[in-house]
Structure 1
Amino acid sequence: MTTFDNRERGFENKFALDQEQEFKAGARRNKLLGQWAAGLMGLQGDNIDEYAKAVVKSDFELPGDDDVLRKVFEDLKGSGVAVSEGEVRMKMDELLAVARDQVKNGL
């Protein structure tokens, strides 16, 4: 095997690892977002975890983050929480940074 082949394999492995970590960070972000929204809606105990799981599952409906944003925003609005779509999106961005750090540090 040549040095070029080794480098190519190394880049492919790094790309795969980066994609895996980004997937985990996205799922972690969605869980954190669900917990945040559950708190705003006044959910307690096991209902917080159930809602967070529902938010994570909602990400598999469509590509991208719009399905998660729509679910959380509509649920908050339906619960009478005065929050804008932009605020939810900003919280998603904030929690994605937190989730990436957690995944990177193995938490």
Structure 2
Amino acid sequence: MTTFDDRERAFENMFANDQELQFRIQARRNRLLGEWAAVKMGLTPEETDAYAKAVVQADFEEAGDEDVIRKLVGDMTSAGIDIDEPGVRAALDEQAVVARRMFIEAQ
């Protein structure tokens, strides 16, 4: 029975590690996306850092990416940037690849 218990604990640990990694990749992706948007809006380096953090925080409002997309579309439109939801989604996908690559290369 201990072999089964050991396997169960190993799978639970693996699942927890996978979930933590996914969370970290998603947070990095959101930060990169915030930096991308800040450059488009012409923000200063200090403003860029603060905005990237705000984008990461926006992801905690609801499950999924809709809260982040809504924030970026609203902020960029207010700043006079011509962008729509599909444009932000494309940037989100691009930054997800970059974030994942960053974690893979770090390991």
Give the TM-score, by structure 1 length.
0.92
| Count of aligned pairs | 107
Deviations 1:44-94 (A, max 9, x none): 120110110111111111111110000011111111111121010111112
Q: In the alignment, which residue of structure 1 is the partner of 2:98?
A: 98
In the TM superposition, residue 106 of structure 1 has moved relative to its aligned partner by 3.1
In the TM superposition, residue 2 of structure 1 has moved relative to its aligned partner by 2.3
DSSP-derived class of the 1:105 partner: helix
Share of identical aligned residues, percent? Answer: 52
In the TM superposition, residue 103 of structure 1 has moved relative to its aligned partner by 2.4
Asked if the contact 1:34–1:48 (Cα under 8 Å) also holds between the matched residues in 2, the reply is: yes
Q: Counterpart of 2:12 in structure 1: which amino acid?
A: E
DSSP-derived class of the 1:57 partner: helix
Give the TM-score, by structure 2 length.
0.92
Q: In the alignment, which residue of structure 2 is the partner of 1:31?
A: 31
User: 1:60 & 1:17 partners in 2: Cα distance?
Assistant: 20
Structure 1 unaligned residues grouped into runs of 5+: none
The CA RMSD over aligned residues, in Å, is 1.4
Structure 2 unaligned residues grouped into runs of 5+: none
